[in-house]
């Protein structure tokens, strides 16, 4: 693997490649050219070749990419084979929705526990995931070092909880709160979910198509 | 405004610019250079200038961008000033979390109603949003043409519901189900939320930093 720093834009595209490759495998497609993959994904073939070349040479001139092998490499690069573990902190509506409907396994991540302060939830299980008292987080982490915390607590306690999790030695926080966590510990990586980015994009493509319709009838 | 087709990558960056500009305005920053904005966002100054030049000339050489004006332009381009309306279809955990915690208003979108099949929910209100019987969607849309449907129904009924919504004349579907909707009507725009893209990115940056640590101790 090449040692150069890979650009953020390439990394952000890798999950999209993964989804498309999974889709191709589900349709028993065994090999694909950069032309065809580009057409399916709306990228130029040279963009595709350039993205994959960052990680070494997967394709063969005139043959294309072997889909299962490429999928395996993309998954490996994304850290999906590292056996990362995760806990969910906050079992309100969002935490609930994630435990029940989001396939952590599909991302190669094992969801081991959930935490909440609600006595009605503590001690229960949700889809096989035990719910523990949030106050016991530090003790639990001492026994069960965990890579990722999914933060789905109310905004009002987000910063405090993030600090607790950082102190517990978590490596990454997947932040569903609308709060900028501003952690002092630079070792802890934070990834914010921005729902609005996706909604605004939808708003853009709707207004674009409205404008095109108006232009045609002018 | 220039008439050229603007690339998807530029559009996808606009919501990020919007967030940063909101942040700058909250800190009373009135003007900013492409150098400084690039530094804050991890882009090159020429990338910034190129992105904004797609929509006309906002900045002035040697002066930079006026933050409130630039923010207004970005919002306008994203369709935030068009007065789009939205309904939520499916008031399970995800729908619930969105109604209660996601600020549709901040994206310039008015959430007018929610729909569900659960008799315990129908007729109730949630944060001021009335919940109607999903079976009455077509009648409701006939009276209340709506731009966007937020689809948070169970996967098993996602395709059928999307078809119903398309028949009702919705312009865009914000799809939270893990189902590829495959609509026959090309007029209806679909934007899928892919939680896993964000989680996989977090996995990547964690494994990258692990690899760096290992390399150092070698």
pLDDT of residue A59: 66
Phi, psi of A18 (to 5 degrees): -60, -45
Is-contact A135 A122, C-beta < 8 A?
Answer: no
Q: Determine, for residues B189 and A201 on separate chains, whether the beta-carbon distance falls below 8 Å.
A: no
- Residue in B76, B69, B81, B60 with CA at minimum distance from that of residue B24: B69
Q: Determine, for residues A201 and B172 on separate chains, whether the beta-carbon distance falls below 8 Å.
A: no
Number of residues that make up chain A: 218
Instruction: Report ipTM for this prediction.
Output: 0.90
Long-range contacts: A207-214, Cβ < 8 Å, 24+?
A207/B78, A207/B79, A207/B82, A208/B79, A209/B171, A209/B187, A209/B189, A210/B82, A210/B171
Q: Determine, for residues B12 and A201 on separate chains, whether the beta-carbon distance falls below 8 Å.
A: yes
pLDDT of residue A4: 56
> Which residues of chain A are under the pLDDT cut of 50?
1-3
- Chain A contacts of B208, Cβ < 8 Å? 79
pLDDT along chain B (218 residues), means of 10: 66 90 94 91 84 74 86 92 96 95 93 98 96 97 97 95 97 93 89 92 91 80
pLDDT of residue A3: 47
pTM above 0.90, yes or no: no
Phi, psi of A117 (to 5 degrees): -100, -5
Is-contact A149 A89, C-beta < 8 A?
Answer: yes
Residues facing residue B110 across a β-bridge: B85
Is-contact A89 A82, C-beta < 8 A?
Answer: no
Angle B8-26/B67-77 helices, nearest 10 degrees? 140
Instruction: Return d(Cα A48, Cα A31) in angstroms, integer.
Output: 15
Phi, psi of B102 (to 5 degrees): -90, 130
The CA–CA distances, whole Å, from B192 to A202, B69, B182, B185 equal: 9, 30, 12, 16
Sheet holding A85-89, edge to edge: A125-126, A129-133, A110-116, A85-89, A148-151, A172-175, A189-192
pLDDT of residue B58: 65
A60: left (phi over 0), alpha (psi -120 to 50) or beta: beta
pLDDT of residue B199: 95
Nearest neighbour of A191 by CB, restricted to B96, B189, B198: B198
Structure tokens at B201: 């990115």
């Amino acid at each position: 693997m090449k040692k150069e720093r890979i650009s953020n834009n390439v990394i952000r595209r890798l999950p999209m490649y993964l989804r498309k490759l999974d889709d191709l495998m589900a349709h028993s497609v065994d090999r694909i050219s950069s032309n065809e993959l580009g057409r399916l994904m709306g990228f130029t073939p040279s963009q595709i070749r350039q993205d994959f070349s960052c990680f070494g040479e997967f394709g063969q001139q005139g043959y294309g990419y072997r889909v299962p092998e490429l999928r395996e490499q993309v998954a490996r690069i994304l850290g999906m084979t590292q056996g990362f573990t995760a806990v969910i902190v906050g079992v309100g509506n969002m935490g609930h929705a994630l435990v029940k409907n989001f396939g952590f396994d599909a991302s190669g991540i094992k969801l081991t526990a959930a935490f909440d302060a609600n006595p009605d939830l503590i001690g229960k299980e949700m889809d096989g995931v035990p719910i523990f008292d949030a106050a016991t987080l530090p003790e639990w982490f001492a026994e069960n070092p965990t890579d990722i915390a999914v933060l789905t607590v109310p905004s009002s306690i987000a910063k405090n909880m993030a600090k607790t999790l950082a102190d517990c030695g978590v490596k990454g926080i997947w932040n569903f709160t609308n709060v900028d966590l501003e952690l002092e510990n630079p070792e802890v990586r934070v990834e914010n979910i921005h729902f609005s980015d996706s909604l605004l994009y939808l708003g853009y493509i709707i207004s674009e198509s409205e404008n095109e319709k108006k232009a045609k009838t002018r």
